[in-house]
Structures are given as C-alpha cells and as structure tokens.
Structure 1
Amino acid sequence: MTWNLPNILTLLRLLAAPGVAIMFLYFTRPWADWFALVLFVVAATTDWIDGYLARAWNQQTKFGAMLDPIADKAMVVIALLVITGFSGMDPWILLPATLIMFRETFVSGLREFLGDTAGTLAVTKLAKWKTAAQMTAIAVLFSTGAFDTYFQISTEGMDDAMIIAVLEGIEPDLQGILWKLNGAFYSWWIGIVLLWAAMVLTVLTGFDYFRKSLPYLRETA
C-alpha cells in the first residue's frame, strides 16, 4: 500500500461512509440531518479531489484504484439505507434505492469474479455521471429531512386549521412554517428526480458492464 495524499483522502472517504449513519445515533434531528449532509458533501468532494491529485501528481496506484470504487459504493449504499429508513419506506425512494444497491452489489460481484480481467469493467464517463447523480440526489434528500423536521417542530401544538390559516396568509407566519414547508417540498421533488435519473444511469451502466463481461462468463469447452 502506498500512503500518498490521494490514497489517504480515499481512505477517509471510506471511513466517512458509516459516519453518515452514526450522526443519527448521537445527534437529534434536524442537526443529525445537517451534520450527515455536511459530512456526505465533504466526503463526496474528495472523490473528485483524490482522482485529480492522483493524475496531476502521477500518484495513481493499484491500492487507490481498488479502494476508490469501494469508498464510493459504501457512501452511496449507507446513505440510501438511512434515507430510505427515515422516509418511512416511501416507494418513490425505495424503488430506485433498491435498484441502485442491487446494481452496485452485482457489479462488485462481477469484478471479484473476473479477478485479473476486471480491467474489462473500467469506469466509463457514464458511470462517473451516475456517481455524481447519486451523490447529488442523496445530498438534496438529506436537506429534505432537515426542512421536514423544522416544519414539524414549528407546527407542534398547532391544529390543522391554524396551519392552513398561516399557509394561506390569514394568520401571521411567526414560525416561518411556509419557507420550511417549501424547502421540504422542493428539495424532496428535486431529490426524487435526481434519484430516479441516477437509477436510470445506474441500470444502464450495470447492463453495460454485464455485456462487457459476457465473454469471460461463457463456459469453455
């Protein structure tokens, strides 16, 4: 193993993956949502930084090439598990999250089976767009959780009639529930659109990797 800066950043990103879930064990919401969001965004940013530094400094190593996709998959899978759980198993999230996690597991199994010929499944530009879409969607959906929690806190003790009166402008919005509701609504839909787009890219790249691996999966006579 070569301990250069790009590899260290990749390792830190891997270690940050479970940290996203751990935030919800030690902090209450909405702080847990914000801390998870910040940790996820910072870790996701290192995905671009470590690759750029490795190429710029000519420090690309086998250890880094092995660890980088593992760190990416760990971040995405753990974050999706957290978001799916807190969404109450919402089908708009559950379906794309399931397909994304299935594809990531499937491709990882292909890489392990192919062994030395795993270079056949080299990361494509489309796969990089897939990862970017996944991470952006996850970051936006973490903010949805924070906005939703703010809204629930602000409307605690208010009946439905009062909430409707405030939202319609009949009563003054002293708690700022309108912007909190709008934040939850728009971030949810933006996150959902991005997540489904990521799912499509994920399925397409997974099929592409499977197609490329077919010659190595055929039985020899």
Structure 2
Amino acid sequence: MTMNLPNLLTVLRLLAAPGVAIMFLYFSRPLADWFALVLFVTAAITDWFDGYLARAWKQESKLGAMLDPIADKAMVVIALMVIIGFSSWSAWLVLPATMILFREVFVSGLREFLGDVAGTLKVTNLAKWKTTFQMVAIAVLFSQGVFEHYLAVSAEGLDPGQVQAALAGAAEDTQNLRWKSWAMHSAGILGLFLLWVAAALTLVTGWDYFRKALPHLKDET
C-alpha cells in the first residue's frame, strides 16, 4: 500500500465523514452547522483533487481506488443522516434521501457479490455527476441550517407580531430578518431541488449498474 498525497487526501476525507456528525455532539448550533458545512465542503473539494493529482502524478493505486468510493459514500450517508435528524422529517427530504441510501447499499452489495468481476461496474460519467449533485445539495442544506438559526437568534426577544410585521415589510427590519428568512427558504428550496436531481441520477445509475451485472447473476444451466 502506498501512502502518497492523493491517498492521504482520500483518507482525510474518509475521516471527515464521521466528523460532520461529531460537530453536532460537541458544539451548539449554529456553530455546529458552520463547522459541519466547512468540513463537508472542504472534504468534497478533496474528492476532485485526489483523483486529479493521482492521474497527473501517475500515483493511482489500489488503495486509492478502494478508499475513494467508500469515502464518498460515507460522506453522503452520514451527512444525510445528520440533516434528516435535525429536520422536520418532511417527505420532500426523506424520500430522495431514502432513494440515495437504498441505491448506495444496493450497488455496494452488488459489487461485493460480483467479487472478481466487479470491474464490470466501472464508475460512469453520469455517476460522477450524481456524486457532484449529492455533495452540492448537502452543502446547500447545511447552509439552510445556518440561516435558520441566525434568523431564530435575531428574532429572539421580539413578539410574533413584530417578527411578522418586519418580515412583511410593515415595520422597520432592525434585525435584518427579511434577508435571513429569504436566505433560509431559498437554501431549503434549492437544496431540495438538487437533492431530487441527485436522487433521480442515483436511480438511473443504479439501474445501469444492475443491468450490467445481470449476465453475472444468471444461474448456470
């Protein structure tokens, strides 16, 4: 096993995956949301760098090929778990997250079953786009949590009537509630849209992998 820079970045991304959840155990919100967002975005950026550097420096290795998809899946699964855990469990969030989690488990099991012929399930360009949409969607949804808690902090001490008046523009918005509310709702809508796109790509790529694996799943007669 070779521990070069690309592999080191992959290992750090793998370790960052549980770190996203740990942020919410040791820090209060919105600080935890900020730390989780920065950690997730930084780790997601390394997903591009480690592959690029491995190819550019001709340092591609079996260790990196094995760890890279594991790190990606760990980041997505744990981040979605955290987001759902701190959400209102809306069906618009839970359904695409469920589709994504189901596909990741299904394809991982398929690869494990195929063993030596798992190379037939090579990562496609569409699967790379799927991962990109997942990463961006999760980052946007984490930012929604940041805006939500800054809005709550700004509205603290105000009665509901004052908050509604400020949001409606009927009263002076001394706490900048309007733009924080707009940012919170915009991040939520954009994040959900991107997550649904990622879920659709997830199902398409999952079916593609299953179709390619079918010849190896037939019983010999």
TM-score grouping bracket, smaller chain normalisation: over 0.9
One-letter identity of the residue aligned with 2:210: F
Deviation at 1:157, TM superposition (A): 2.9
Q: Runs of at least 4 residues of structure 1 off by over 6 A?
A: none
Task: Describe the superposition over 1:101-146 as per-residue Cα deviations: whole angstroms up to 9, x where unpaired.
Answer: 0000100001111111111000000000000000000000000011
Aligned to 2:193: 193
Structure 1 residues not aligned, in runs of 5+: none
One-letter identity of the residue aligned with 2:96: P
Deviation at 1:169, TM superposition (A): 2.3
CA distance in 1, matches of 2:43, 2:169: 41
CA distance in 2, matches of 1:42, 1:11: 13
CA distance in 2, matches of 1:171, 1:181: 15
Aligned to 1:63: 63
- The answer to whether the aligner puts 1:181 opposite 2:188 as a matched pair is no
- Give the 5 Å matches for 1:20-31: 20-31=20-31
CA distance in 2, matches of 1:169, 1:70: 49
Deviation at 1:156, TM superposition (A): 2.0
Aligned to 1:46: 46
Structure 2 residues not aligned, in runs of 5+: none
- The answer to whether the aligner puts 1:165 opposite 2:187 as a matched pair is no
Aligned to 2:118: 118
Task: Tell me the percent identity.
Answer: 66
Q: Structure 2 length normalisation: TM-score?
A: 0.98
Deviation at 1:210, TM superposition (A): 0.4
One-letter identity of the residue aligned with 2:104: E
Task: Describe the superposition over 1:29-61 as per-residue Cα deviations: whole angstroms up to 9, x where unpaired.
Answer: 111111100000000000000000010011111
- Give the 5 Å matches for 1:134-145: 134-145=134-145
Task: Describe the superposition over 1:175-216 as per-residue Cα deviations: whole angstroms up to 9, x where unpaired.
Answer: 111111011010100001000000000000000000000011
- Greater CA deviation, 180-189 or 160-169? 160-169
Deviation at 1:174, TM superposition (A): 1.3
Give the superposed CA RMSD: 0.8
CA distance in 2, matches of 1:14, 1:63: 13
